[in-house]
Amino acid sequence: MSAPLTIDARGHRCPVPILRLRKALAGAPAAGRAVLLATDPMARIDAPYLMQELGGRVVDIAEADGVLTIIVERPVAPTG
């Protein structure tokens, strides 16, 4: 498995962190993981909504020193 894609949105307010995550995931391969770094507490709420919309999931949300680390996983692309 390759290293997860990291999106650094520290210092940006809503909706920028989630918009950056959405854009990064749009260009990433299916079934990959991404790590969002954000200082806006709304990212804790917005990321699960985005992943539900995209058919993915939030793997983990952790906070240290005011920085949220949100790990998300995209689903495998449908075949057929």
User: Tell me: the pLDDT tens digits for 2-36?
Assistant: 678 999 999 999 999 999 999 999 887 777 899 99
What is the spatial distance between Cα 43 and Cα 13, in angstroms, rounded to a whole number? 9
**Two tokens, residue 32:** 């990959």
The SS3 assignment for 59 reads strand
CATH T-level fold of 5-73:
Translation Initiation Factor IF3 (3.30.110)
User: 78 falls in which pLDDT band (50, 70, 90)?
Assistant: low
Which residues are part of the catalytic machinery? 14
Q: What is the pLDDT of residues 44-76, one digit of tens each?
A: 999 999 999 999 999 999 999 999 999 999 877
For β-strands 57-64 and 5-9, DSSP reports them as unpaired
